[in-house]
Structure 1
């Protein structure tokens, strides 16, 4: 009787071990695929990022849980303002979460960029960018973006670029630099899992954005034509595309 119980327990442990091994292998393959498909479309030097009419800025919290300014938010805002000055983009689509009256990522981004001298005409706010998928789905379906520059951290760009391509957006990634934060390993681990989940979203269960709404084509004014906005490099972005 004891021997029979041990055989059953061993079989269960072997099955669990096999399942864990297969899950780890699937996670590894999915990540290698996403990274391999997007690596060549990521630029790490802002002045070398490909010029596009639209830059898509992904929202994140202004503050960390410890109550300090989020370095990821700071880096995205700093890079976005600089890309406008460098004439790498003409217009910024600020997309983020607006889940409550007291939490509004797009407005926070808009206020920060206004403080950096970015004109209102150079920004459009998307209040329903609840996730990376939602931001890109709405960029294509609502705002009519067919190509653009994705502005976020390097660890986020592979997944964002992969989703953009699947949704019909011809995109390049512009990686913004930021200081390492406490517990960044947890963020990296979550991103590995998110890349695997993205494949399911796109190819298995057909994920849809939480909210679309009517089309709202972007009104883009070339930066060189906007009064009071200094251009750091010669020639409008449109001439270099």
Structure 2
């Protein structure tokens, strides 16, 4: 009798596990479809067709990839930002990234590279507390006074970034930073699917707050009175 009961419990546990897995997969799929549907019409893949906005928000990422080469996603974001400035699609760039330690400073790294691309200092603002996409966009609105912006990043990142921007009160559009596929990029895309689910929880369940907010420092655009 004991082995039979053990097999019965094992069968029920396996069935329960399968049901829970299906429910979890359904939730992930539903959350992603919702985010994609809400942001699809706000994404432009051709930089030449990106609508004008006063501010372009550039999201920080590591300068180096895991294999020790220059991160192509970083390079693509910086190239797109510089080109949008030259095309007069944006008037100012908000460079937001991680600066948790003195040895790792994404905003300053972006600033230095954009200076080499002849983007003037007066056209750039650095946000040193953009520890995440969430923090970057809440701070853009609450600290830097951004109400309308172009978001500059990869296509797989834009849906979540746009959803967060709209939730933060920013009228945002997304410009895809063109980049060639890289080895292991599928991991980033899978992680992004899960990150979109977590984002909905952040916004609607546990009401996440930025790691650091600080006083208001509105961006003043050149030529404005």
TM value normalised by structure 2: 0.98
Distance in 2 separating the partners of 1:107 and 1:167: 25
Shift of 1:182: 1.1
Q: How many residues align?
A: 223
Distance in 2 separating the partners of 1:221 and 1:79: 21
CA offsets 1:83-132 (integer angstroms, 9 cap, x no match): 00000000000000001111100000000000000000000000000000
Is 1:205 aligned with 2:206? yes
Distance in 1 separating the partners of 2:144 and 2:121: 17
Moved over 3 A (4+): none
Partner of 1:230: none
Partner of 1:135: 136
Shift of 1:42: 0.2
Distance in 2 separating the partners of 1:62 and 1:121: 23
Distance in 2 separating the partners of 1:148 and 1:126: 15
Distance in 2 separating the partners of 1:2 and 1:65: 50
Partner of 1:87: 88
CA offsets 1:186-237 (integer angstroms, 9 cap, x no match): 1110000000001000000000000000000002115xx9xxxxxxxxxxxx
Partner of 2:42: 41
Shift of 1:71: 0.4
Partner of 1:27: 28
Partner of 1:221: 222
Distance in 1 separating the partners of 2:211 and 2:105: 17
Other structure's SS at 1:93 match: strand
Shift of 1:47: 1.2
TM value normalised by structure 1: 0.91
Partner of 1:125: 126
Partner of 2:8: 7
Distance in 1 separating the partners of 2:188 and 2:132: 15
Shift of 1:65: 1.4
Distance in 1 separating the partners of 2:221 and 2:63: 27
Other structure's SS at 2:208 match: coil
Point out where structure 2 has 5 or more consecutive residues left out of the alignment: none
Partner of 2:157: 156
Is 1:147 aligned with 2:187? no
Distance in 2 separating the partners of 1:140 and 1:105: 20
Partner of 1:239: none
Partner of 1:195: 196
Distance in 2 separating the partners of 1:96 and 1:194: 18
Other structure's SS at 1:171 match: strand
Distance in 2 separating the partners of 1:45 and 1:102: 35
